[in-house]
Amino acid sequence: MQVHSQLNNLPAFRNAVITIGTFDGVHTGHQHILQQLQEAAAACNGETVIITFDPHPREVLAGDKSVRLLTTLEEKISLLAHWGIHHLVVVPFTREFSEMSATAYLEDFLISTFRPHTIIIGYDHRFGHNREGGLELLEAEQEKYGFQLLEIPQQVIHHAAVSSTRIRKSLQEGDVALASELLGYPYFLNGVVVHGDKMGRQLGFPTANIQLNDYRKLIPAQGVYAVTVDTGDGHLHKGALNIGTRPTFNGTELRIEVFILDFDREIYGSPIRVDFLAFIRSDRKFDNVEALIAQMKNDVEQARAIASRP
């Protein structure tokens, strides 16, 4: 997959079959669109082109610095590459771009820049200033500009619409199993291993403290999770991960730390990825250290059992 970030330096696409969206999470709803994209491109001997935006439009339009992403740009690129997409165009999203009228967006951006053979959009896709453009405008201009238009209807899983919003909500509630079902893969965090205060080591459970690669990445609810861990050594390890403030020790700083089972290498400064398998329990304060250690032993055995399932 070729990734483009300069709109004035794009190649001449062959029968471009395009779709537009933030694609945050590249979830199962998005994946249905990707399948349609590939089928339409194969039918016209064309190239698949995804247009996405960075930063997230809400960060620009609402000045919302609390936006939490299911996938960073780098993670989104990696997920889309697995789908065999030909081109990903990352459009710098600015306030000026957002104020473009729907007609100008269609004529000066989509048609002039991409010369699409086919445009594929979701049933509720809106564009242009104040979201004034949509399917009705594309249908009205379809004959004039000679592109085909394919609408993707609302995707439904278990009688509820698949959406990035619903996935975020499930993660914020600790329901990583539902999030993974809606995503089509386990939710994951990428970061680097940093030094902590070695408290886990003193308790008999040395943990790897994770500093996320992007502060905007959504962190699931506080608690203990069964995870798999990729430390870059070519092996996938089982782990018990805690997201919390260490309430037993009156901590206040949110930390993400993982105890990697059957693992004894020093990996400070190394990249690390954790994939969430299941929620084990909420983060809570224990009466004493002995009670905490007993619970941690139980957490680890639960994590081992969960991660050992086929």
248/199 Cα distance (integer angstroms): 12
* CB within 8 Å of 134: residues ≥ 6 apart: 102, 124, 125, 126, 127
Q: Which pLDDT tens digit goes with each residue over 84-105?
A: 999 999 999 999 999 999 999 9
Q: Which pLDDT tens digit goes with each residue over 1-40?
A: 999 999 989 999 999 999 998 899 999 888 888 998 999 9
Tell me the longest C-alpha to C-alpha distance in the chain.
Answer: 74
Phi-psi category of residue 23: left, alpha or beta, with phi > 0 → left and psi -120 to 50 → alpha: left
Enter the DSSP assignment of 221.
Answer: P
Q: Look at the chain and count its residues.
A: 310
More confident residue, 34 or 66: 34
User: What is the tally of helices (H) and strands (E) in the chain?
Assistant: 11, 14
- Which one is catalytic: 96, 143, 257, 266? 257
| Token pair of 236 as six digits | 């996938």
Confidence (pLDDT) at 143: 93
Query: What 3-state class would DSSP assign to 40?
Result: helix
Enter the DSSP assignment of 9.
Answer: G
Q: State yes or no: is 253 an active-site residue.
A: no
Q: Domains along the chain?
A: 2-161 (3.40.50.620), 186-307 (2.40.30.30)
Query: What 3-state class would DSSP assign to 199?
Result: helix
242/208 Cα distance (integer angstroms): 10
Residue type, 23: F
| Token pair of 99 as six digits | 């104020």
Phi-psi category of residue 141: left, alpha or beta, with phi > 0 → left and psi -120 to 50 → alpha: alpha
Question: What number of other Cβ atoms are within 10 A of residue 142's Cβ?
Answer: 13
Q: Taking the CA atoms of the chain, what radius of gyration do you get in angstroms?
A: 22
Q: Which pLDDT tens digit goes with each residue over 203-259?
A: 778 999 999 999 999 999 999 999 999 999 889 999 999 999 988 888 889 999 999
Q: Which pLDDT tens digit goes with each residue over 236-250?
A: 999 999 999 988 888
Confidence (pLDDT) at 194: 95
196/56 Cα distance (integer angstroms): 32
| Residue 76 clears pLDDT 50, i.e. is over it | yes
pTM above 0.75, yes or no: yes
Confidence (pLDDT) at 60: 85
